Structure 1
Amino acid sequence: MSGPSPTQRSLTRDDVAWYVRASLGPGRDVVDCGPLGGGGFATVWWVTLDDGGAAALKVAPPPEARLLRYERGLAAAEARYFRLVAAHAPQVPVPRVLHHGRDPERGEWLLTDRLPGRPLAELTADIDAGPARADFGAATVALHRITGDRYGYDGGRAGGPTWSRAFAAIVDDLLADAADWDVAPPGGPRLIRELVRHHAGALDEVRRPALLHFDGWDGNVLAAPDATGAYRMCGLVDGERYLWGDPLLDLVSPLLFRRAEDEPDHPFLRGWRAAGGQPAAFDPAARVRLGLYRLHLYLLMIVEMPSRGMTPENAPDRSALLAELLDRELADLGRGRPRP
């Protein structure tokens, strides 16, 4: 894919100055600013403020942009997430919310502190990111100690009173999005729904709705060298896709396109276990759930492609990889399953 996603607004320096004044007051100004890459949903700019402060501006998609069902209200969701973490897990470094606003013409935006450090995705091969990944594993355990009052998303989006019902509703919404966008996922909707129903018992071993970041891939974890030169985690960003559910769901994105149960010595999992993350070893039900959560992520990444301006023609490598990965999870989850 070349160029911005259809969900991303085009901004100028004058636009950024307007959002800053609307957030912090008419006397505030922007010394410097520029776009931040790495994402394909909202538009994000770094900002240097007139008092020397560093901020990040995230502007939600324009009203005419077609979104997936769970993507409604993500700017407000991100503000809620950062405030939840600041209040209940202050040891986890997330940006401080400076302002969340809406305007009839300028849309919805979020202004936060800009944290130091670089995304893990930008670290070169000669840098050992292991300590930062272990820090992130430990931080994830702290986040999971925050408990919600229902499973799934908030804000009127897919959820439910049990994890199996919430997860089924989340997958159903993605399959409805696939139909809306004329996307045919591998295996087809019937098989995907049947596998989620078949494994409801494993899902319902989850008895507490933990706070989940969900999107903890390398682009959203920041790291910087400490006094010894070792790179340590110094920030967690992009909390807009948070939900409530099984802590194991947060083991998928940090090991993107891999399998946590096959890599017990991965630095993230070492940090997770050291901080008390459970289970320390993955029993059969946990392995089933991890397979379902990879199925969900790969399905989401396939379904979101047209909304981001991607097709099998202009993004053939992504399309082929996701189809292969989803096929593998479908096959593994289907072993030993009675035919419908």
Structure 2
Amino acid sequence: MTGRKSFALLRAAVPKPKIKGKKDQMQTTAGAIASTVRSFTTITASVLLGALSCGCMAGPEIESEEEMVGEAQDALTDWNFFTRTTATNLTGLTIANASLETCFLSGVAGNLNEGDELGGVASHPSVARVSIVSGNYQLFAHGGAFTNQVNDPVFSNNSIKANATCIPVTAGRTNGSWTSLDTPHRITDLGTSLRQCFLSGVSGVSGVWNSATNFVRVVKVTTTDATHPMTGWYIEGNLPENPGGSDGSASAVCLDFPTGTEFVSGERTSTTEGGSTTTFIGIGLGATVKKGCGLTEIKGAFNVNSTADGILITPPTAAEGEASAWHMTVSNPKIGKWTCAQ
């Protein structure tokens, strides 16, 4: 794939389907402020490589629903970034055409330790995920619910925040999933060095995200063992089943990236109760605005009612300096693993 040498400075704001979830203030990175989550701003790489370098852009933390676009003259030519936070909105936000792009999780925060899946027709787990619906990727983020005596949902009002990165790669796309107590699920074979997998979704119900040792992840297995009888890419975890029989779950997507793509991976940890750590990621690939980053593992207790409590990747907001880097913020005693592609 070849990059483009020039880009539009700023595309017009694109209206999105109306969202019935909570009303949040949206901060655009062009300096304008929108009052609801019913629209979002698209920003192209020329803004990051030009106007952003003047220092007039907002910081890397992005709230409510927003899209950012980066473009580069590399094997990976574009990225799009979205974030969504709701407690009770079960409707997905359309973020990408699945025939042109693939999306995966780049952040999850909030209390995944609420909800149900077997207690009635209106029960729901707590969810942070991207899914293909009618040919488009949709981003879901909502808390859990139980069913009452008249089959209405009773929400726990635990807000969930989900970040997603979308990239213009669809070759070899293969999806896999895992649920509580399952053995590791093999998604696909090893492929070439250009194959990479990311988490695309996580969910939880009452009692399954209480431990600092709880995890879900994708893993590349090059040597077989008792739980990985074949080499390949796997999705796995250690979430329990709750006493009512409801499960937590995780999903993943694997892709074959174009020739010339480079990868860098890493791990970030926060060990301070009530604290957080924010660090650069993907620095090994050089020009940071050109890459796309996503989660490959989350580990820790996700049982705090705060959308600042989690593992969150945020994209560049400037062409130079610290704000030109992708960042990962890990809060409370959690561990997050990531991979960036360029």
TM-score scaled by structure 1?
0.27
Choose 1 or 2 for highest CA Rg: 1
Q: Indicate the structure with greater strand content.
A: 2
Q: Indicate the structure with greater helix content.
A: 1
